[in-house]
Amino acid sequence: MWKGRFAKETAELVQQFGESISYDWRLYKHDIAGSIAHARAQVAAGLLTGDEFASIENGLREIEADIDAGKFEFKTSLEDIHMNIEAELTKRIGAPGAKLHTARSRNDQVATDTRLYCRAEIDTLIPAVSKLQLALLDRAEKYAATVLPAYTHLQRGQPVTVGHHLLAYVEMLERDKSRLQDCRKRLNVSPLGSGALAGSTINLDRPAVAAELGFDGVTNNSMDAVADRDYIAELLFGISLCGVHLSRLSEDLVLWTSAEFGFVSLSDSHTTGSSLMPQKKNPDVCEITRGKTGRLLGNLVAILTAIKGLPLTYNRDLQEDKEPLFDSIDTLGLTLAVNAEMIAAMEFREENCLEAASDPLLLATDLADWLVKQGVPFRHAHELVGKAVAESVSSGTPLDQLDLSKIDAAYTPDAQTVFNLQTALAARTNPGAPSVENVRSEILKWQGLIQA
């Protein structure tokens, strides 16, 4: 493609070092769609006849069908998906194929292809996130009233319900979807027509091309258009944060499935055994999810590092955007799918959850609230409950069995009414709090909002 300027062939090692066809072949549908739209604009500009356009479109559709069928031979010597398709098109249809690249560069071509690719993949990821949310909602509904401890610093804090705990992840995942949707809006502008960096003296109808490709508009600066990879970095950030949320969920499940907690049982279909220890049932899906999250974060760092020192406009470093992008999309898609399947099949051991939540120390804050309602300032109430807890620990007497009146006269016999889990949960009626009524209301809300 640049033989007019060079006297020697590109060295084989350079070809091997610089090729991207081994991975960017997956952009082929988007590259073909962009080429057809570009050719249609060439017709409108008088650069192609109707017959030439038909020949180009038919040729490109045939190439697409061959790639779909696995019959297309990709050539490393042609570097990338763009030149592989263009060279094959010209080989098949002759002169019209050689006209296709008029008024565009591989710089605006690849920017267009990757935007189309990201848009399509976002449209696949969002329903996958929704599917996981629905699996969580199904379990939240089944265990809406199942009480278990909530933790801070991995120490038992206060009682909540399984439903409330799982709804926390539904909230996180909804934010993940929102970030993906926002990213989609920002990336959905067409750079095609920006050329190598300064547009072209042959002016095609950029808005028409953008409309045909489903873009909301066109980029406003040709230099930014070919240099910009913000949309990839933003998408990889959204994917990474979603992975972080999945990793946190995985860590909860790793803990909950352990003998020390014993709150959850995962299906045999979503666990593995040991090659040596016959008794083992390992939460491998959760552990691999945690591990893959590091990979997602690494891909984000890779793209940020690649672009951080680049002068305007296009630099070949930008070729390094695709492997992290493709890998992160593939990784998150599979991780979402397997987690949705695993969550849908998991069961809670309600008796173990209730036993852990029945420790009266979990209601120490409720006891301080009771004192406040009797007129005791909170800081003093906190101190009085702290003394009661210290007495409970030192004497080995459960907090709800202490004679609290010996600690302070502010404690009346009515203080014992605090130590009832159902009453304690029912009192938490403020928006966002874990009363069973609130939890069930939230589940209904989410079920109405999330589409399968």
pLDDT tens string 117-138: 999 999 999 999 999 999 999 9
Give the mean model confidence (pLDDT) for residues 237-246: 98
% of the chain surpassing 70 pLDDT: 99
**Over the chain, what HEC string results?**
CCCCCCCCCCCHHHHHHHCCHHHHHHHHHHHHHHHHHHHHHHHHCCCCCHHHHHHHHHHHHHHHHHHHCCCCCCCHHHCCHHHHHHHHHHHHHCHHHHHCCCCCCHHHHHHHHHHHHHHHHHHHHHHHHHHHHHHHHHHHHHCCCCEEEEEECCEEEEEEEHHHHHHHHHHHHHHHHHHHHHHHHHHCEECCCCCCCCCCCCCCCHHHHHHHCCCCEECCCHHHHHHCCHHHHHHHHHHHHHHHHHHHHHHHHHHHHCCCCCCEECCHHHCECCCCCCCCCECHHHHHHHHHHHHHHHHHHHHHHHHCCCCCCCCHHHHHHHHHHHHHHHHHHHHHHHHHHHHHHCEECHHHHHHHHCCHHHHHHHHHHHHHHCCCCHHHHHHHHHHHHHHHHHHCCCHHHCCHHHCCCCCCHHHHHHCCHHHHHHCCCCCCCCCHHHHHHHHHHHHHHCCC
**What is the structure's pLDDT at 452?**
67
Give the mean model confidence (pLDDT) for residues 249-255: 98
Answer whether 107-199+216-355 and 359-435 agree in fold.
no
Q: Please, what CATH class does the domain formed by 12-102 belong to? A: mainly alpha
Give the mean model confidence (pLDDT) for residues 36-63: 98
**What is the structure's pLDDT at 2?**
55
Beta carbons within 8 Å of 58's beta carbon, 6+ residues apart? 93
Residue 332 has pLDDT above 60, yes or no: yes
Could you read off the pLDDT of 271-289 as tens digits, one per residue? Answer: 999 999 999 999 999 999 9
- Under the banding of pLDDT at 50, 70 and 90, the label for residue 145 is very high
- Contact indicator for 213, 234 with CB cutoff of 8 Å: no
Residue 107 has pLDDT above 80, yes or no: yes
Could you read off the pLDDT of 215-231 as tens digits, one per residue? Answer: 999 999 999 999 999 99
Give the mean model confidence (pLDDT) for residues 349-370: 98
**What is the structure's pLDDT at 1?**
58
**Which CATH superfamily groups domain 359-435?**
Fumarase/aspartase (C-terminal domain) (1.10.40.30)
Residues with a known catalytic role: 153, 274
**What is the structure's pLDDT at 413?**
94
Q: Where are the domains of the chain?
A: 12-102, 107-199+216-355, 359-435
- Under the banding of pLDDT at 50, 70 and 90, the label for residue 10 is confident
% of the chain surpassing 90 pLDDT: 96
Residue 26 has pLDDT above 80, yes or no: yes
Q: Which CATH number fits domain 107-199+216-355: 1.20.1090.10, 1.25.40.10, 3.30.1490.20, 1.20.200.10?
A: 1.20.200.10
**What is the structure's pLDDT at 6?**
78
Could you read off the pLDDT of 297-310 as tens digits, one per residue? Answer: 999 999 999 999 99
**What is the structure's pLDDT at 7?**
72
- Under the banding of pLDDT at 50, 70 and 90, the label for residue 3 is low
Residue 450 has pLDDT above 60, yes or no: yes
Q: Please give the angle made by the CA atoms of 76, 333 and 66, to the nearest 5 degrees.
A: 40
Could you read off the pLDDT of 169-193 as tens digits, one per residue? Answer: 999 999 999 999 999 999 999 999 9
Mean pLDDT of the chain: 97
